[in-house]
Amino acid sequence: MPQSQAKNLSLIAAIDLGSNSFHMVVAKARNGEIRILERLGEKVQLAAGIDDARQLNEESMQRGLDCLKRFAQLINGMPLGAVRIVGTNALREARNRVEFIHRAEEILGHPVEVISGREEARLIYLGVSHTLADTPGKRLVADIGGGSTEFIIGQRFEPLLRESLQMGCVSFTQRYFKDGKITPARYAQAYTAARLEIMSIEHALHRLTWDEAIGSSGTIRAIGLALKAGGHGTGEVNAEGLAWLKRKLFKLGDTDKIDFEGIKPDRRAIFPAGLAILEAIFDALELQRMDHCEGALREGVLYDLLGRHHHEDVRERTLTSLMERYHVDLEQAARVERKALHAFDQVASDWELDDGIWRELLGWAAKVHEVGLDIAHYHYHKHGAYLIEHSDLAGFSRVDQQMLALLVRGHRRNIPKDKFAEFGDDGIKLIRLCVLLRFAILFHHIRGTQTMPEVTLYARGENLDVQFPEHWLEENQLTQADFGLEADWLTRVGIVLTVR
């Protein structure tokens, strides 16, 4: 189920299910500001449990679930919508992620979202920009995670470029330093692999330029502490220090011998991989210095959650941009949205759609149901569904996009019942939303050229009754014919439509 909204928000929480560590922050929200009350973090190394078939093994799942049992106590009793839980690269990659997500949701009592790499980058930048001083210059932000590394260039609170690459300190450790041995040859392999990954975005990053470089991950913090302990700076990362640290690791030869002040024992194993990735970043982007920032993904999730409750929802801006890009008829979209939401309000209780997220999802689908027309009229509902599912939509989780795409796919002609069934219990609710969307579109088939009457909807189980004013349908036979055909389509998904 997608994330719903809580009313009268005061306590909020964010949980980051990272590939290396799980983190949680609990905060008090007041007047648009956030005050952190509690921070928890545990090394879980979920990514280390993904095998060659991209299956997450039971041992790594259990490590994660045990951690979440400890987290759960702090959010017990918090309402739906006050807690946001996001999964990153390990859950993006794991083919059996649904099993882990289901078990995690049972423990936490809140939905878990798996977000895309670029959405992760957006949230990281949001956390960094709210943590650092507000300056006019452009920032490059790099976050080396367990399974992926995110790059963002932004100005003030606005990300200008967001990228996510498939390289992380856990996945690279599994590949190049699994037994803990550190050799120049192995390090060179890891470094070269990272350089090859960065090549795909190098030009785009250089083209935008930046005024300062910020690192937001534990990897960068740990490397900064190691450099400080060795007399190379005061906690920042610098190019000269990286070269010294690499030579130091070669002399040590084994991760068990890493004993820099401030480096926790559980970070030793992934330290060489993190260093190789960071050195590749420095060389590819010609950096001399990078400062560490405590703000990261979880803080970004908090600020994003707060924005949703203060009419600053980035998802609305995203859909507006999508509509403009694909030249949507804004007046028709608004007509369909109003009618769909009016219909929703009449049947929500009877159809068990009381949670506000379903109303929100229906409104979004009404806004963008015609984006596919910009590609071609033939099968435009399928074109639209593809665009929505595969576009980079800031603010939306993967499940959000899949649900939205499915509503657009099902808004005309055949409703793909099997696709709705993939969402389990939510599939029934999604079919009902789809029926309401189809009703609103048919109601405004003539696209505003005629004043339409008030209608009343009644829902009972799988029955939907639509009541027009007396004799109106007889006098408007196109609408009558449309709804006659619609009744036939809906019988295929078990909905009985009666129009009178």
Q: Which domain holds residue 262?
A: 133-292
CATH, residue 244: 3.30.420.150
- Looking at the domain assignment, is residue 376 inside a domain? yes
Beta-carbon-side half-sphere exposure of residue 141 (alpha carbons within 13 Å): 39
Average pLDDT over residues 335-359: 92
How much is the average pLDDT of 232-257?
94
Q: What is the mean pLDDT of residues 168-181?
A: 94
Residues 285 and 222 in one domain: yes
Identify whether 50 is part of a domain. yes
Question: Tell me, what CATH number does 337's domain have?
Answer: 1.10.3210.10
347 lies in a domain?
Answer: yes
Distances (CA, A) of 134 to 126, 153, 155, 305, 353: 12, 15, 9, 20, 42
Q: Is pLDDT above 60 for 241?
A: yes
* pLDDT at position 168: 95
Domain boundary among 307, 332, 351: 307
* Shared-domain flag, residues 138 and 111: no
pLDDT digits (tens, 9 = 90+) for 477-490: 888 898 999 999 99
Total tally of structural domains belonging to the chain: 3
Is it the case that residue 355 has pLDDT exceeding 90?
A: no
Q: Are residues 73 and 159 in the same domain?
A: no
Report pLDDT for 283: 97
What is this structure's pTM? Answer: 0.82
d(CA 134, CA 151): 19
Work out the average pLDDT over 123-128.
Answer: 94
Residues 47 and 160 in one domain: no
Per-residue pLDDT of 266-275, as tens digits, reads 899 999 999 9
Conformational region of residue 131, where left means phi above 0, alpha means psi within -120 to 50, and beta covers everything else = alpha
How high is the pLDDT of residue 392?
Answer: 86
Residue 35 lies in a domain: yes
Write down the mean pLDDT value for the chain: 92
For residues 373 and 328, give the distance between their C-alpha atoms in angstroms, rounded to a whole number.
8
What is the mean predicted confidence (pLDDT) over 360-367?
A: 96
From residue 146, alpha-carbon distances to 96, 219, 452 in Å are 18, 9, 56
Claim to verify: residue 149 and residue 244 sit in the same structural domain: yes
% residues pLDDT > 70 (the chain):
97
Distance set, CA 297 to CA 72, 94, 152, 365 (Å): 19, 20, 12, 28
Is residue 465, in this structure, part of any structural domain at all?
A: no
- CA-wise closest residue to 166 among 152, 189, 145: 145
Is residue 101 one of the residues assigned to a domain?
A: yes
| Residue 51: inside a domain | yes
Same domain, 324 and 225: no
Instruction: Summarize the confidence of residues 104-112 as an average pLDDT.
Output: 95
Tell me which of 278, 307, 336 is where a domain ends. 307
**Is position 4 within any domain?**
no
161 and 89: one domain?
Answer: no
Residue 387: φ, ψ to 5°: -60, -45
8 A C-beta contact, residue 361 and residue 407: yes
Which pLDDT does position 261 carry in this prediction?
A: 84
Q: What is the CATH number of the domain that holds 37?
A: 3.30.420.40
Instruction: Indicate whether 142 and 287 sit together in one domain.
Output: yes
**Is 80 exceeded by the pLDDT of residue 459?**
yes
CA distance 233 to 215: 15
Residues 100 and 140 in one domain: no
In a shared domain, residues 138 and 277: yes
Q: What's the sign of the alpha-carbon dihedral 44, 48, 53, 57?
A: negative
Last residue of a domain, one of 244, 263, 292: 292
| 322, 288: one domain | no
pLDDT at 331 over 90: yes
Clarify whether residues 319 and 235 are in a common domain.
Answer: no
